[in-house]
Amino acid sequence: MQGVIKAYDPTTGDGLIMADTDLNDYELSANALEGSVFRMLRQGQRVVFDLDDAGRATALRLGSEVDMGTPGTH
């Protein structure tokens, strides 16, 4: 899935991602940044992510423009 960081607290690691496809908010899992290029997140930052079994965002990563569905890159 792709989305945008809606909120992130670097102290607690809590955060929300708003998905592009359904505009739903997904909480970050406790290990969302493990193995990721990200050490911190900022509001408005675009990411690609998976959902864990509990429906939380995990495995955050950068996506290419094609992955993000940016017009003119297909």
Domain ranges of the chain: 2-68
pLDDT by position in tens, the chain (length 74)? 999 999 999 999 999 999 999 999 999 999 998 888 888 899 999 999 999 999 999 999 986 555 555 555 44
pTM: 0.80
Cα separations (Å) of 66 from 44, 48, 60, 62, 69? Answer: 18, 12, 17, 11, 5
What is the number of alpha carbons within 13 Å of residue 33 lying toward its C-beta? 16
> What is the 8-class DSSP label of residue 29?
P
The DSSP bridge partners found for residue 28 are 57
Q: Region of 32 please: left (phi>0), alpha (psi -120 to 50) or beta.
A: alpha
What CATH fold (topology level) applies to the domain 2-68?
OB fold (Dihydrolipoamide Acetyltransferase, E2P) (2.40.50)
